[in-house]
Amino acid sequence: MTSTVRTLPIMVNPEQKAERKDDGLQRIQGANVLLAIHNPNNLALLREQLSSDFRIYENPSDIDNIEFDLAIIDIPSLEQYKDALQDKKTRCEPTLLPVMLMLSKRDLKHKLRPYLALVDEFITMPVDKVEFMERVVMLLRARFLAISQRDKLYYLATHDRVTGLPNEQRCIEHVTDTILSASVVNQPVYVIVFSINLDQVFKSFGHSGLDQAAVICSQRAVSAITDNDKLFRLTTDTWCLVNPPGQNSLNHTLSVCQQLISAISVPVSIEHDLIHLDIAIGVSHYPDDAVNTRRILDAAINAINTKAPNTPHFYSKRLQQDALRYIRTETLLRQAITKQQFELWYQPQIDFATGKVISVEALVRWRLPNGNLVSPGDFIPIAEKTGLITQIDRWVIIQACETMARWQEQALCIERVAVNVTACDVEEDDFVSFIDDILKKNHIPPPNLELEITEGVFFHSKSKNLEKLSQLRKRGLSIAVDDFGTGYSSLSYLHTLPISTLKIDRSFINSILTSENDIAITESIIWLAKTFKLQTVAEGVETADQASYLKKLGVNIAQGFYYAKPMPEEQLIAWLQQQTNVKPIEQRQSQMS
C-alpha cells in the first residue's frame, strides 16, 4: 500500500505554549527520538521542533543498532520497518518502548487495526504544536517511569533489603563472570565465604538487633576490603567475597581474611550493649576445587569450620597448608620484630675502573631462635602484604647508618651503604624527617647513604612521594632504581625521576654472553644511564667472563657472587682486611687459568 503524506501544518500560539508548558520536560531532556518520516518537509519540521530538547536519529534502516526512547513514524515507514520495530519492542519488554504514528486525514481511510499492537499513540494532521509536544512528553515520561520501576524491581530482586549489598543471585552471576574471565586468561580465582554467628543477637534483641548487627558487620567488611573486591550477602549470617582475576593470590586472600577477622572481632554495640562476634571463614579455589559457580560456592561454604572461628579454612588441603604457613610466618615475624631477631648482611660493590670496594648493599636476614635463617623470599612478601615491612626497613636503615658511622671511625674504605625501601616506606608522612634524623644522629653525610627502590614503585608513585625523594636527592642522597629494565623502562618518565643510579637486573646479567636480546637491553640501559649522567650497577655477576664483558660495555659498578656473597659485618671486615682492593679482572682471570 502506498500513501501520499501531506506536510504538517504546525499552528503556533506562543501564549498558549507558555501557558501549557509541561514542567516534566526537564526530566526527559536528552532522550533519544527516532524519526522515520518519508516526507522531507514533515521530517524537517519535526527535527526543528524536537532537536533542542532531544537527541534525534533519522536512519530507521539501522533500528537494530539504535538505542531510542521514542519512535515517531508515518504509514510508509511503518509498513517498511514494522517487523524491526516489533522485534525492538519485544526485546524491551516488559519496559515500554513507545511508537507514535503520524496520520494524515487520507491515512484514516485505511484499516489501522493491524498496527494497534505496535503503535502506542496516534496523532492526526494538522496538529497543534503544543499538543504534539505534550503527547511526546507524555510518552517519554511513561517510558522513563517504566525504566525507573524496572530498575527498582531489579535492585530489589538483586540486593539485600537490610544491608543494601548485592544478594546471592548477583553473587552467582558475578562468580560466573569472574570464572569465565579467569578461564580466558588462565588465572586462579579465590572465593571467600564467611559466616558470623548472630544467634545470640537475635535471641537478645530480635529482628531489629539482628538487622543492626548485619549492617554494622557489612560496613566493617566493606571497609576491610579493596575497591576491586566484591562483597555479597548470601543469607542472614553469611557473606561472600570475590576478587577479580589478575588480583588473586594466596597472600592477598589471606591478607583480606586477616582484615575481615580484625574488623569483625571488634565488639558490636547493640542498644548500648557490647556484643562479641566470631567469624568463620571458608575459601575455595578455581580451578583446583571446582570449575563451575555453584560448586565453587559450595566448596567455600563446606570449608567453613564454625568450631575453629577467626581462622580461614581452605577446601583444598594443599592450600590449607600454605595458608597455615603464611599465618604462622606472620605471627613469628611480628615476634621477630619485637625480639630483634633480624641481622644485617652486606654484599660488596666493586668499582670496575679501580677494582676497589666502594660501597655495600645492606640486606636483612631473619635468624630463628634455633639458629636457622629464613630465606628473604619466604618472609619479605608477607611483610610487605601485612605492612610489617615498614618497621623492618626502618630497623635496617637505622642499623646500616650506625654501622656506617663505625666504619668511618675505623677509616674503612667504604664510601656508601645502600638500603632497600618500598613504596610503603616512602608513603609514611615522616619519611624525609626520619632519614634526616638518622643521618644527623650518626653524623653521616647524605652521600654516604643510598636508597634502592624498585622500578615499579617509581612508575606507580604518587606525586607527593616523588617530591619526598626529590627532597632527599637534593640533600645529596644517592637514589637507585633497583631491577631496572624489568618493568616500565621509558624515556618518557626516566628523565623526571630524582635518581642517581640504575641497577641492571640480574636476569639480564645471567645471559649477557648468550642472549642477543639481553645484550641489546643491557647496552640500551647503559646508553640511557650515560645520556642522563647516571651510574650503572650490574647485580648478579657470577663469572669472570661476565665481569670482563660488562666492564667493556661501560658498566660502572659490579656486584655478585663472583666477588663476594652477602656476609655479616664481622666477615665483611675480615674479607676487606685480606685484600686492600679487589684484583683487576685480568689478574683474577689469569690466576684462575
Yes or no: say if 216 and 268 are a contact pair by the CB < 8 Å rule: yes
- Residue 300 phi/psi, 5° resolution? -65, -40
CB of 478 within 8 A of CB of 416?
Answer: yes
Give the integer Cα–Cα distance in Å for 277 and 237. Answer: 11
**How many Å apart are CA 20 and CA 4, to the nearest integer?**
32
* CA 410 to mean position of chain CA atoms: 49
Q: SS in 3 state form for 234-258?
A: EECCEEEEECCCCCCCHHHHHHHHH
Q: Do 271 and 401 belong to one domain? A: no
Residue 5 resides in a domain: no
**Model pLDDT, residue 552:** 93
Q: Tell whether 402 and 546 lie within a shared domain.
A: yes
- Taking residue 64's Cβ as centre, other Cβ atoms within 10 Å add up to 9
Domain boundary pick from 329, 349, 374: 329
Kindly tell me if the per-residue pLDDT of 384 is higher than 70: yes
Is 298 a domain residue? Answer: yes
Q: What is the CATH number of the domain that holds 545?
A: 3.20.20.450
CB-based contact 344:395 (threshold 8 Å): no
| Residue 494 near residue 484 (C-beta atoms within 8 A) | no
Beta bridge partners of 351: 557
In a domain, 553, yes or no: yes
Cell of 212: 543492626
Predicted TM-score (pTM) of this structure: 0.57
User: What's the gap between Cα 454 and its chain centre?
Assistant: 19
Least trusted range by pLDDT, from 151-155, 173-177, 442-446: 151-155
Q: Which residue has the cell 610487605?
A: 384
CA distance 386 to 367: 20
What does the pLDDT look like over 466-522, one tens digit per residue? 889 999 999 999 999 887 766 555 555 677 788 999 998 888 898 888 888 888 888
Amino acid at 492: S
Instruction: Give the least confident one: 15-24, 101-110, 351-360, 504-513.
Output: 15-24
Task: State the amino acid at position 369 in one-letter form.
Answer: P
Which residues are paired to 121 by β-bridges? 100
- 8 in a domain, yes or no? no
- Bridge partners of residue 312, in order along the sequence: 281
Encode 114-159 in three state secondary structure: HHCCCCCEEEECCCEHHHHHHHHHHHHHHHHHHHHHHHHHHHHHHE
Q: Is residue 176 part of a domain?
A: yes
| DSSP assigned state of 492 | H
Cα 257 to Cα 251: distance, rounded to the nearest angstrom: 10
For residues 465 and 423, is the Cβ–Cβ distance under 8 A?
Answer: yes
pLDDT at 82 over 90: no
pLDDT at 341: 94
Q: For the chain, how far is it from start to end, CA to CA, in angstroms?
A: 102
- What does the pLDDT read at residue 461? 61
Strands 279-286 and 557-559, sheet pairing:
unpaired
Within this chain, do residues 309 and 379 fall inside the same structural domain, yes or no?
no
**Positive or negative: CA dihedral 138, 143, 144, 150:** positive
Whether 440 maps to a domain, the answer reads yes
Q: Which backbone phi and psi does 99 adopt, to 5 degrees? A: -125, 125
Place 18 in a pLDDT band, splitting at 50, 70 and 90.
Answer: very low
Whether residue 10 has pLDDT greater than 60: no
Q: Is residue 163 part of a domain?
A: no
* CB-neighbour burial class of residue 84 (10 A; exposed 0-12, middle 13-18, buried 19+): middle
How far is Cα 456 from Cα 497, in angstroms, rounded to an integer?
Answer: 12
Tally of domains in the chain: 3
Q: Are residues 377 and 311 in the same domain?
A: no
pLDDT for residue 588 is more than 60: no
Per-residue pLDDT, averaged over 31-59, amounts to: 89
- Residues 550, 539: Cα–Cα separation, whole Å: 11
Q: Which three cell numbers stand for residue 557?
A: 659498578
pLDDT of residue 160: 92
Query: Could you tell me which residue, 491 or 37, shows the higher pLDDT?
Result: 37
**Of 124-128, 260-264, 535-539, where does mean pLDDT reach its minimum?**
124-128
Q: In 443-467, which positions are buried (b, 16+ CB within 10 angstroms) versus exposed (e)?
A: ebebebbbbbbbbebbeebeeebee
Average pLDDT for the chain: 85
Say yes or no to pLDDT of 135 above 70.
yes
Tell me the DSSP string of 188-220.
-EEEEEEEE--HHHHHHHHHHHHHHHHHHHHHH
The proportion of the chain whose per-residue pLDDT surpasses 90, expressed as a percent, equals 43
| Structure confidence at residue 203 (pLDDT) | 87
349 and 315 in a common domain: no
| Same domain membership, residue 296 and residue 209 | yes
- Residue 23's pLDDT is 45
CATH of the domain at 37: 3.40.50.2300
Cell 494532521 sits on residue: 125
Q: Which of 114, 137, 158 is the last residue of a domain?
A: 158
Cβ pair 290, 193 in contact under 8 A: no
Residue 89 pLDDT > 50: yes
Q: Is the pLDDT of residue 447 over 50?
A: yes
The domain spanning residue 250 has which CATH number? 3.30.70.270
SS3 224: helix
Q: Mark whether 259 and 130 lie in a shared domain.
A: no
Do 452 and 579 belong together in one domain? yes
Nearest to 545 by CA among 568, 566, 562: 562
CA dihedral 190, 196, 197, 203 (to 10 degrees): -140
DSSP string for 6-69:
PPP--B--HHHHHHT--TTHHHHTT-EEEEE-S-HHHHHHHHHHHTTTSEEE--GGGGGG---S
208-231 tens-digit pLDDT = 999 999 999 999 999 998 888 899
Q: What is the pLDDT of residue 414?
A: 92
Domain encompassing residue 358 = 340-592
User: Is the residue at 488 inside a domain?
Assistant: yes
User: How many whole angstroms separate alpha carbon 172 and alpha carbon 508?
Assistant: 45
Query: Which of the two residues, 22 and 294, has the higher pLDDT score?
Result: 294
Rounded to whole angstroms, the Cα distance separating 547 from 589 reads 10
Neighbours of 29 (CB within 10 A): 11
Q: Residue 436: its pLDDT value, please?
A: 96
Cell (9 digits) for 561: 657472587
Q: Are 419 and 449 in contact (CB under 8 A)?
A: yes
**Same domain, residue pair 177 and 240:** yes
User: Are residues 135 and 66 located together in one domain of the fold?
Assistant: yes
Give pLDDT, residue 7: 35
Pairing between strand 567-568 and 373-374? unpaired
Percent of the chain scoring above 70 in pLDDT: 89
Write the burial class of residue 3 (CB in 10 Å: 0-12 exposed, 13-18 middle, 19+ buried).
middle
Cis peptide preceding 126, ω within 30 of 0: yes
pLDDT in tens, 287-334: 889 888 999 999 999 899 888 888 899 888 777 777 778 888 888 999
Burial of 111 (0-12, 13-18, 19+ CB in 10 A): exposed
pLDDT at residue number 20: 40
Cell 645492606, residue? 362
The reply to whether 18 and 58 lie within a common domain is: yes
Domain check: are 154 and 176 in the same one?
no
The last residue of a domain, from among 140, 158, 176? 158
